[in-house]
């Protein structure tokens, strides 16, 4: 089935089984590799991306749900001229270790600072359930707060 | 400091060096240094005069460093980056001698076809230590070769040529490394140059951001699953969820009818669906109807009983004084406790998969492995081709933790590729990763101690029952039976470190029906949990402060003991040990020595809503020279989180012959909610860099146990902690 | 569309039977229009309804606190899921982050329209049978529903109906859907009694 949507602000058209998870469409049909496969059961969050600004676990989102919508992956978070506050903070706090879970975390975090511009530790802990095995959690919390500050500063 | 630093490493002899130095096959490739994988180096130190494999190939130059045309240097790392940040440390070391800014060094993993890989793999926290000298020696040699070439080209004395920031100069003549590399065809090999003293280090000791940071944040870092090939197909194998199960009957007809399926393979033990996309392959493999032949439906209780002190083969690994007879004949009260650690999964975020392309009896493999050399060997024998026909490339690993040293699907992937005549990607599902894996084995520990009349520890003994972790992989059952037990890995850290006059340690090797392997910190995890929990209980029952008791015990000990004391003194200060106790908060401490890295943690816990909450962790590590302090901080933080996870949540159980956890919902890990206040302190009380990836994990679980004992007056002696158990 | 028609038909029938749609809920008493003796029938039917309400399929999303349960063993929902301001999750992770219009056969994540938690006021977890029965007909605890509305919700709502099509690994309620619907009608038509 032909499904049209927009990915990172570019229109695309894919001809796949409408039930195919958006994860595999993004990775293997559209060759955007930042979105990762982790558990295939919507649990670990490695495949987190945005559809029309909302957070989804793309391994459990059939591609048909993206029809006519705007999909954003990590590759589309920053623009060519402006690095996203989350990515800037992730670099400044040197968050990643193995790096595999980080795209999903960053996508969840980008939504978080949009919804809660000045998040507390508690806000961060209760709103992001992604899994990391390297133990980058302490830095993720620091980086989200830093990103929120960067975002605030850029608005002034 | 540097003289001492080098004292226990033999410099390479000129003769050997020449044999191992290859030079030049054209253009921009400059120099190399062969046969110096740390394994070989390690062996070379112990086995003089052994024969090294032929290392100079006219077709595929094996090089560590290449000068690229943009005057940067490509370092083909013999060690694998799995998050532990080894490539940054190694590049820093290389930069010291290459006389090139660190940002001009690019790092990629050596592949079996294009560089020197470490045949033993990456693990055991030994990468930086084992390469601390070799990397600098090779870098210095290359620098001298560049200088020599420049001196010859310019017709000046070598002594007049200097190398700085990637530029060679003599008088008013200058040339970049890239320029000399491009214009030189014959290279001369110098003697191994003298290394820079540590006092002249430019990078070592300063925090440097990870080399892979940018790509891992921007999403461009590539893992196995991200690699592509023209005409790539996706495969999923059928795996038996039962331990040692085999196919009794199978019907693949429904799977074959599923859309986008190219082929269903059923060949001996290999059953797989190959499809044009991953979704189709996964959905189709679920349509296979299979009945399993299960030799025995193992239950958890049986697994625990198998691993019990007194069963299996015993190897004495420590026997100082006469601990056993003192303990068995003591009239004074003998303290005795038993501890257990459970099976655990690595649960690394990236499942351990392979991209394989087998064509014309040559195999090209992409696999994020900790041991490319091992994979190469396995594939050569699986495919019946020579090793040099198998190229193994390791991209970044989405976590290793020991998992990617063990059981893998590379041979299956290669067979499937050969059968379908196309490149295929075989990435296990998370269920397969949990159920067809290799596990940290469950262990059982019995500790005994008796005090003398002066209140000093008179004798102590430790018995550890454990399955093997690596011995069988390294040398098969024969090797294991020769050495009796796996004291190398599973028994690592079992010996009593405190200089008690009478101390004894035994390891009981037991057989289990599941594949057991190494898990971050190897034997240190289980042994530190048991020994240090026991020490905390001794302190509790004799009403001693757990730090003071340890300091007292460590008095008059060896160099390691002295370093342990220093770590504890600093910990006492940094953890604010003298401060007034907080109500409702328990605290304790634990310490370990993991191959000369000392790590100690002071931990505070409380009970919140009926659950254990780790409030604060202060960890002091002494890993000798701290090459990249920022990187060390990161490793210690990660180890603390993994330690909390293992202590509070993680356990693999077996029911009806099956690994009971199929995915993360059945194997919960620590999350953002578990982040405590963390303080990391680095000491440098040794003149060499020791490992840091694993050691800091050791003290976490026993310090939590001690803190719970302090809080509740009741000891929990098995992991993960459950408050209703004590 | 057909659901709506069916619902209207049911509602009209109910109104005709009962005479007044808000009678029971307001008075918590046996309505005079219902012949005495049918109370037992209603109470017996309620026992069947209760079996369904107590099924993990219904209970899991009617938590008394802020965290739903999941699975046949009714463990607290993992992944840090919580009610949020509008019973559909937090500001970042919403129910919709993972749950969609239908069961996902690839990821085995259950799904149905308007997947979410029942409001806090409709929390059932931890209630005794007696409390559950009372809460069910208490307009303050049932979303302001009359017995007719309740019957409509329980017999027709697509999220409720999902319970009988929960996907692999999840046990449907112990009463089959046709019997459940029959019990609902029996209960309503005989006075919508709950045990006192």
Beta strands A70-72 and A2-7, pairing class: parallel
Give the whole-angstrom CA distance, residue A50 versus residue A58. 9
Q: Which of C82, C83, C93, C100 to mutate to test the interface with A (most CBs of A within 10 A)?
A: C93
Q: Which chains border A (3 or more CB–CB pairs < 8 Å)?
A: B, C
Q: Supply the pLDDT for residue B29.
A: 31
The reply to whether residue A19 touches residue C79, judged by beta carbons under 8 angstroms, is no
Q: Please name which of B10, B35, B39 lies closest in space to residue B20, comparing C-alpha atoms.
A: B35
- Which among A127, A132, A141, A148 is the top mutation candidate for probing chain C, defined by the most C β-carbons within 10 Å of its own β-carbon? A127
Interchain proximity B671–C80, CB inside 8 Å:
yes
Identify any residues that bridge with A2 across adjacent strands, giving them in sequence order: A15
B395-423 pLDDT, tens digit each:
999 999 999 998 999 999 999 999 999 99
The whole-angstrom separation of Cα B26 and Cα B24 is: 6
Contacting residues of A for C108, CB less than 8 Å apart = 41
Q: Nearest by CB to A57, from C78, C90, C97: name it.
A: C97
In a mutagenesis test of the A interface, which of C92, C95, C106 is the best target, namely the one with the most A β-carbons within 10 Å? Answer: C92
Whether B532 and B337 have beta carbons less than 8 Å apart is answered as no
Give residues with Cβ within 8 angstroms of B585, minimum separation 6.
Answer: B604, B605, B606, B615, B711
In this prediction, residue C31 carries a pLDDT of 45
Contacts of B397 in chain A (CB under 8 A): 98
**Non-local CB neighbours of A72 within 8 Å, separated by 6+ positions:** A7, A8, A49, A50, A51, A53, A107
Write out the H or E segment, with its range, that includes residue A31.
Answer: none
Contacts of C109 in chain A (CB under 8 A): 41-42, 60
Q: Does C1 touch chain A (CB under 8 A)?
A: no
Put simply, whether A56 touches C (Cβ < 8 Å) is yes
Predicted local confidence at residue B506, as pLDDT: 96
C92 contacts in chain A (CB < 8 Å): 55, 108, 111-112, 115, 127-128
C-alpha B118/C-alpha B372 separation (Å) is 8
Minimal Cα–Cα distance from A114 to chain C, Å? 9
Give the rounded distance of the alpha carbon of B103 from its chain centre.
26
In chain B, which stretches have pLDDT less than 50?
1-62
Neighbours of chain B (3+ CB pairs under 8 A): A, C
A69 to chain C: which residues are within 8 Å by CB?
Answer: none
What CA–CA distance (Å, rounded) separates B117 from B90?
A: 14
Smallest Cα distance from C95 to chain A, Å? 10
Helix (H) or strand (E) holding B22: none
Contact call for B401 and A96, based on CB within 8 A: no
pLDDT tens by residue, A103-132 = 999 999 999 999 999 999 999 999 999 999
Tokens 């296990």, located at residue: B428
Using the beta-carbon criterion (under 8 Å), do C80 and B673 form an inter-chain contact? yes
CA distance A133 to A97: 9
Are B668 and C106 a contacting pair at CB < 8 A?
no
Q: Which pLDDT does position B57 carry in this prediction?
A: 24
Do residue B665 and residue C106 have CB atoms under 8 angstroms apart? Answer: no
ipTM beyond cut 0.85: yes
What is the rounded CA–CA span in Å between residue B83 and residue B121? 15
Q: Residue A48 pLDDT > 80, yes or no?
A: yes
Task: Look at B671 and C78 and tell me if their CB atoms are within 8 Å.
Answer: no
Among candidate residues A27, A31, A30, A65, the one with its CA nearest the CA of residue A47: A27
Single out the residue of B597, B580, B577 nearest to residue B589, CA to CA: B577
Segments in B344-421 forming alpha helices (H): 372-383, 410-420
Distance CA B88, CA B69 (A): 22
Report how far residue B303's alpha carbon sits from residue B299's, in angstroms, rounded to the nearest whole number. Answer: 7
Q: Which residues of chain C have pLDDT under 70?
A: 1-37
Instruction: State whether residue B659 is helix, strand or coil.
Output: strand
Tell me which chain C residues have a C-beta less than 8 angstroms from the C-beta of A18. none
Interface check A42 vs C, CB under 8 A = yes
pLDDT for the residue B135: 84
Across the interface, do A57 and C98 touch by the CB < 8 Å criterion? Answer: yes
From A49's Cα to the closest Cα of chain C, the distance in A is 10
Asked if A26 contacts B339 with a C-beta cutoff of 8 angstroms, the reply is no
**3-class secondary-structure state, position B700:** helix
φ and ψ at residue A77, rounded to 5 degrees: -70, -50
Put simply, the answer to whether C78 touches B279 (Cβ < 8 Å) is no
With contacts defined as CB-CB under 8 Å, which chain C residues touch A147? none
Contacts (Cβ under 8 Å, ≥6 apart) of A29? A14, A16, B277
How far B430 CA lies from chain C's nearest CA (Å)?
A: 11
- Residue B73 burial by Cβ neighbours in a 10 Å radius (0-12, 13-18, 19+): buried
Distance CA C110, CA A153 (A): 42
Alpha carbon of A156: minimum distance to chain B alpha carbons (Å): 26
What confidence score (pLDDT) does residue B114 get? 59
pLDDT computed for residue B115 by the predictor: 60
Q: Is B285 on the interface with C (CB under 8 A)?
A: no
Q: Give me the pLDDT at residue B15, please.
A: 31
Residues from chain B that touch A133, judged by Cβ atoms under 8 A, are 346-349, 399, 401, 642, 669
Closest CA to B220 of A84, A102, A48: A102
Cβ B469 vs Cβ B289: under 8 Å? no
Alpha-helix runs per DSSP H in B357-470: 372-383, 410-420, 430-435
Smallest CA–CA distance, residue A92 to chain C, in Å, is 24
> Does any CB of chain C come closer than 8 Å to the CB of residue B282?
yes
Instruction: Identify the closest residue of chain A to C97 by CA–CA distance.
Output: A56
Question: Does B672 sit within 8 Å of A128, measured CB to CB?
Answer: yes
Cα–Cα distances in angstroms (integers) from residue B191 to residues A27, B6, B130, B145, in the given order: 51, 17, 21, 10
Q: Which of A19, A40, A127 sits opposite C93 (nearest CB)?
A: A127
| Chain A contact present for C91, CB below 8 A | yes
CA distance B663 to B682: 36
Q: How far is B666 from chain C (nearest CA, A)?
A: 10
Which residues in chain C are contacts of A121 at CB distance < 8 A? none
CB-CB neighbors (< 8 A) of A112 in chain C: 91-92
Q: What is the pTM of this model?
A: 0.91
Task: Nearest chain A residue to C111 by CA: give it.
Answer: A60
Give me the pLDDT at residue B119, please: 61
Distance from CA of B268 to the nearest CA of A (A): 28
Predicted local distance difference test score (pLDDT) of residue B391: 93
Q: How many CB atoms lie within 10 A of CB B185?
A: 9
Tokens 């591609």 belong to A63
User: Is the peptide bond prior to B65 cis by the omega test (within 30 degrees of 0)?
Assistant: no
Cβ contact A23:A65 at 8 Å: no
């Amino acid at each position: 089935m032909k499904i049209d949507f927009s990915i990172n602000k570019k229109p695309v058209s894919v001809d796949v089984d409408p039930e195919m998870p958006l994860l595999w469409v993004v990775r293997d049909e559209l060759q955007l590799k930042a979105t990762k496969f982790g558990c295939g059961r919507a649990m670990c969050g490695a495949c987190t991306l945005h559809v029309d600004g909302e957070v989804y676990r793309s391994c459990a989102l059939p591609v048909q749900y993206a029809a006519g919508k705007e999909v954003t992956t990590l590759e589309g978070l920053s623009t060519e001229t402006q690095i996203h506050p989350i990515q800037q903070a992730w670099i400044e706090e040197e968050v990643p270790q193995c790096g595999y879970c980080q795209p999903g975390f960053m996508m969840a975090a980008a939504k978080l600072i949009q919804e809660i511009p000045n998040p507390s530790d508690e806000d961060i802990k209760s709103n992001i359930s992604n899994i990391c095995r390297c133990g980058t959690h302490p830095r993720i919390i620091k980086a989200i707060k830093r990103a929120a500050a960067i975002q605030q500063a850029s608005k002034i | 400091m540097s003289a001492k630093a080098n004292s226990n490493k033999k410099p390479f002899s000129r003769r050997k060096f020449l044999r191992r130095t290859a030079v030049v096959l054209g253009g921009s490739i400059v120099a190399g240094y062969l046969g110096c994988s740390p394994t070989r180096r390690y062996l070379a130190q112990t086995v003089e005069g052994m024969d090294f494999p032929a290392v100079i190939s006219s077709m595929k130059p094996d090089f560590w460093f290449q000068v690229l045309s943009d005057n940067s240097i490509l370092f083909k790392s013999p060690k694998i980056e799995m998050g532990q940040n080894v490539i940054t440390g190694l590049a820093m070391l290389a930069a010291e001698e290459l006389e090139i800014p660190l940002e001009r060094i690019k790092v990629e993993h050596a592949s079996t076809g294009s560089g020197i890989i470490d045949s033993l793999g990456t693990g055991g926290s030994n990468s930086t230590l084992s390469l601390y000298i070799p990397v600098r020696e090779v870098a210095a040699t290359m620098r001298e070769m560049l200088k020599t070439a420049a001196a010859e080209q310019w017709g000046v004395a070598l002594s007049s040529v200097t190398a700085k920031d990637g530029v060679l100069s003599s008088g008013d003549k200058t040339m970049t490394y890239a320029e000399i590399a491009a214009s030189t065809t014959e290279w001369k090999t110098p003697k191994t140059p003298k290394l820079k003293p540590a006092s002249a280090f430019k990078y070592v000791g300063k925090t440097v951001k990870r080399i892979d940071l940018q790509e891992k944040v921007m999403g461009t870092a590539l893992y196995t699953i991200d690699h592509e090939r023209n005409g790539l197909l996706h495969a999923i194998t059928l795996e038996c969820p039962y331990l040692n199960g085999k196919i009794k009957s199978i019907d693949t007809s429904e799977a074959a009818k599923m859309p986008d399926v190219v082929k269903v393979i059923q060949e001996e033990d290999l059953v797989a669906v190959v499809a044009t996309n991953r979704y189709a392959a996964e959905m189709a493999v679920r349509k296979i109807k299979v009945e399993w032949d299960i030799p025995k439906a193992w239950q958890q209780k049986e697994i625990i009983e198998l691993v019990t002190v007194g069963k299996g083969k015993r190897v004495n690994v420590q026997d100082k004084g006469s601990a056993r007879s003192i303990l068995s004949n003591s009239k004074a009260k003998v303290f005795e406790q038993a501890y257990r650690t459970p099976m655990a999964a690595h649960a690394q975020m990236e499942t351990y998969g392979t991209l394989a392309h087998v064509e014309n009896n040559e195999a090209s493999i992409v696999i994020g492995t900790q041991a490319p050399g091992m994979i190469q060997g396995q594939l050569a024998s699986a495919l019946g081709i020579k090793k040099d026909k198998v190229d193994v490339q390791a991209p970044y690993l989405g976590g290793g933790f020991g998992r990617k040293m063990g059981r893998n699907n590379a041979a299956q992937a290669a067979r499937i590729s050969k059968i379908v005549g196309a490149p295929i990607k075989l990435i296990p599902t998370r269920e397969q990763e949990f159920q067809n894996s290799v596990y940290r084995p469950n262990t059982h520990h019995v500790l005994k101690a008796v005090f003398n009349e002066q209140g000093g520890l008179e004798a102590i003994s430790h018995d550890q029952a454990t399955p093997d972790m690596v011995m069988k992989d390294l040398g098969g059952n024969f090797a294991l039976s020769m050495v009796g037990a796996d004291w190398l890995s599973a028994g690592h850290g079992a010996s009593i470190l405190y200089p008690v006059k009478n101390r004894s340690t035994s390891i009981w090797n037991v057989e289990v029906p599941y594949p057991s392997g190494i898990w971050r910190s190897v034997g240190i995890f289980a042994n530190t949990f048991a020994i240090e929990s026991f020490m905390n209980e001794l302190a509790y029952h004799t009403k001693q402060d757990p730090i003071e008791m340890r300091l007292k015990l460590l008095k008059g000990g060896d160099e390691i003991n002295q370093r342990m004391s220093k770590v504890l003194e600093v910990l006492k200060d940094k953890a604010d040990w003298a401060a007034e106790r907080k109500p409702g908060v328990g605290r304790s401490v634990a310490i370990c020595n993991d191959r000369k890295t000392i790590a100690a943690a002071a931990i505070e816990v409380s009970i919140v809503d009926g659950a254990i909450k780790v409030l604060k962790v202060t960890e002091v590590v002494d890993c000798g020279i701290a090459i990249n302090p920022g990187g060390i901080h990161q490793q210690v933080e990660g180890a603390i989180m993994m330690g909390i996870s293992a202590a509070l949540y993680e356990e693999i159980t077996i029911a009806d012959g099956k690994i009971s956890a199929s995915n993360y919902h059945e194997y919960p890990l620590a999350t953002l909610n578990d982040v405590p206040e963390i303080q990391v302190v680095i000491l440098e009380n040794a003149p060499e860099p020791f490992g840091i990836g694993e050691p800091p994990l050791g003290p976490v679980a026993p310090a939590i146990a001690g803190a719970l004992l302090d809080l509740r007056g009741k000891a929990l002696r098995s992991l993960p902690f459950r408050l209703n158990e004590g | 569309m057909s659901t709506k028609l069916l619902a209207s038909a049911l509602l009209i029938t109910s109104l005709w039977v009962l005479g007044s749609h808000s009678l029971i809920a307001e008075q918590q008493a046996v309505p005079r229009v219902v012949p005495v003796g049918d109370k037992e029938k209603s109470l017996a039917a309620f026992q069947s309804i209760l079996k369904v309400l107590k099924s993990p399929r219904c209970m899991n999303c009617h938590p008394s606190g802020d965290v739903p349960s999941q699975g046949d063993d009714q463990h607290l929902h993992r992944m840090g899921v919580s009610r949020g301001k509008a019973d559909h999750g937090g500001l970042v992770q919403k129910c919709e982050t993972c749950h969609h219009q239908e069961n996902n056969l690839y990821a085995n994540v259950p799904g149905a329209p308007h997947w979410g938690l029942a409001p806090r006021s409709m929390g059932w977890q931890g209630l005794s049978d007696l409390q559950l029965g009372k809460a069910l007909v208490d307009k303050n605890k049932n979303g302001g529903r009359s017995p007719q509305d309740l019957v409509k919700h329980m017999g027709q709502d697509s999220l409720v109906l999902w319970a009988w099509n929960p996907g692999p690994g999840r046990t449907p309620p112990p009463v089959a859907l046709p019997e459940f619907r029959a019990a609902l009608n029996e209960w309503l038509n005989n006075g919508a009694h709950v045990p006192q």
